[in-house]
Structure 1
Amino acid sequence: MTTHLKGESTLAIAKLAKLAALTAITSALVGAPAWAQNYPITGTQRDTANLVAQRGVPLSDLAANAPERYTIKSGDTLWAISRLYLKSPWRWPELWGMNIDEIKNPHRIYPGQVLILERKDGFARLRLEGTDQGEPPTVKVEPRTRYEMLGDLALPTLRSSIIEAFLAEPIIVDEAGLKSAPRIVAAQDSRVLITRGDRVYARGADGSPLLDDQPKDQHFRIFRNATPLKDPGTGEILGYEAQYVGKAVMARGEGSTDAEDGKGKTSQAVVPATIDIVGAKEEMRVGDRLLPEPPRQLQTYTPRAPAEKVEGRVVSVYGSAVINAGQNQVVAINKGTADGMEPGVVLAILKDGARIVDKTDGGSTLMKLPDERNGLLMVFRTFERVSYALILEITDGVRVGDRLVNPRP
Structure 2
Amino acid sequence: MPSARHQLISLLLGLTLTWGATAADTVAVNPAHPDRYTVVRGDTLWDIAGRFLREPWRWPEVWHVNPQIRNPHLIYPGDIITMTWVNGQPRLSLQPGSTVKLTPEVRSTPLDGAIPAIPVDAVRQFLSRPFVVDQQSLDQAPYVVHFADGHILGSTNIKAYIRAIETKEHLQYHVVRPGKPYRDGESGELLGYEALFVGNAELQRIGDPATVLLTGMQLETVIGDRLFPADEDVPLETFYPKAPDQQIEGRIISVLNGVSQIGQFNVVVLDRGDSDGLAVGDVMNILHKGREVRDVVTPRSDDTVTLPDEPAGTLLVFRTFPRVSFALIMQATRPLNVGDRVINPL
Answering whether residue 274 of structure 2 is matched by residue 308 of structure 1, we say: no
Query: Paired residues, what number?
Result: 327
C-alpha spacing 1:392/1:181, structure 2 compared with 1 (3 Å)? same
Residue of structure 2 in register with 1:21 after alignment: none
Answering whether residue 344 of structure 2 is matched by residue 385 of structure 1, we say: no
1:63/1:85 contact within 8 Å kept: yes
Alignment counterpart, residue 282 of structure 2, candidates 345, 359, 377: 345
Residue of structure 2 in register with 1:116 after alignment: 82
| 3-state SS of paired residue (1:374) | strand
- In structure 1, what residue type is equivalent to 2:80? V
C-alpha spacing 1:158/1:360, structure 2 compared with 1 (3 Å)? same
Residue of structure 2 in register with 1:194 after alignment: 154
Q: Deviations over 1:265-310 (max 9, x none)?
A: xxxxx66413132231x33212211111135735444222223222
Provide the rounded CA distance (Å) in 2 between the counterparts of 1:66 and 1:390. Answer: 25
Provide the rounded CA distance (Å) in 1 between the counterparts of 2:329 and 2:159. Answer: 37
Q: Deviations over 1:25-69 (max 9, x none)?
A: xxxxxxxxxxx95779799x7242xx57xxx75xxx332442333
1:160/1:300 contact within 8 Å kept: no
1:223/1:288 contact within 8 Å kept: yes
Residue of structure 2 in register with 1:248 after alignment: 201
Residue of structure 1 in register with 2:8 after alignment: none
Residue of structure 1 in register with 2:126 after alignment: 166
Answering whether residue 26 of structure 2 is matched by residue 46 of structure 1, we say: no
- In structure 1, what residue type is equivalent to 2:212? T
Q: CA deviation at 1:155?
A: 5.0
C-alpha spacing 1:318/1:106, structure 2 compared with 1 (3 Å)? farther
Q: Deviations over 1:130-157 (max 9, x none)?
A: 7xxxxxx65558xxxxx63443365553
Residue of structure 2 in register with 1:238 after alignment: 191
Provide the rounded CA distance (Å) in 2 between the counterparts of 1:185 and 1:384. Answer: 29
C-alpha spacing 1:249/1:76, structure 2 compared with 1 (3 Å)? farther
Moved more, 382-391 or 293-302: 293-302
C-alpha spacing 1:369/1:174, structure 2 compared with 1 (3 Å)? closer
Q: CA deviation at 1:322?
A: 4.3
- In structure 2, what residue type is equivalent to 1:198? N
Q: Deviations over 1:194-235 (max 9, x none)?
A: 33x331212233xx43x5x36xx9221111125432212112
Residue of structure 1 in register with 2:5 after alignment: none
Residue of structure 2 in register with 1:277 after alignment: 215
Q: CA deviation at 1:253?
A: 1.1
Answering whether residue 329 of structure 2 is matched by residue 369 of structure 1, we say: no
- In structure 1, what residue type is equivalent to 2:106? G
Provide the rounded CA distance (Å) in 2 between the counterparts of 1:245 and 1:107. Answer: 42
Residue of structure 1 in register with 2:4 after alignment: none
After TM superposition, the score normalised by the length of structure 1 is 0.67
C-alpha spacing 1:73/1:254, structure 2 compared with 1 (3 Å)? same
Q: Which runs of 5+ in 1 are unaligned?
A: 1-35, 131-136, 142-146, 256-269
Answering whether residue 230 of structure 2 is matched by residue 293 of structure 1, we say: yes
1:102/1:127 contact within 8 Å kept: no
Identical positions, percent: 33
Residue of structure 2 in register with 1:17 after alignment: none
| 3-state SS of paired residue (2:244) | coil
1:342/1:382 contact within 8 Å kept: yes
C-alpha spacing 1:182/1:77, structure 2 compared with 1 (3 Å)? same
C-alpha spacing 1:203/1:356, structure 2 compared with 1 (3 Å)? closer
Q: CA deviation at 1:184?
A: 2.1
After TM superposition, the score normalised by the length of structure 2 is 0.78
Residue of structure 2 in register with 1:225 after alignment: 178
Residue of structure 2 in register with 1:258 after alignment: none
| 3-state SS of paired residue (2:136) | coil
Answering whether residue 63 of structure 2 is matched by residue 63 of structure 1, we say: no
Residue of structure 2 in register with 1:179 after alignment: 139
C-alpha spacing 1:386/1:271, structure 2 compared with 1 (3 Å)? closer
C-alpha spacing 1:380/1:81, structure 2 compared with 1 (3 Å)? same
Provide the rounded CA distance (Å) in 2 between the counterparts of 1:84 and 1:394. Answer: 16
Residue of structure 2 in register with 1:260 after alignment: none
| 3-state SS of paired residue (1:46) | coil
Q: Deviations over 1:235-260 (max 9, x none)?
A: 2122233222222323x2135xxxxx
- In structure 1, what residue type is equivalent to 2:276? D
Provide the rounded CA distance (Å) in 2 between the counterparts of 1:66 and 1:41. Answer: 20
Provide the rounded CA distance (Å) in 2 between the counterparts of 1:122 and 1:46. Answer: 15
- In structure 1, what residue type is equivalent to 2:206? E
C-alpha spacing 1:127/1:314, structure 2 compared with 1 (3 Å)? closer
Q: Which runs of 5+ in 2 are unaligned?
A: 1-11, 108-112
Larger radius of gyration: 1
Q: CA deviation at 1:167?
A: 2.3
Provide the rounded CA distance (Å) in 2 between the counterparts of 1:355 and 1:106. Answer: 53
C-alpha spacing 1:241/1:341, structure 2 compared with 1 (3 Å)? same
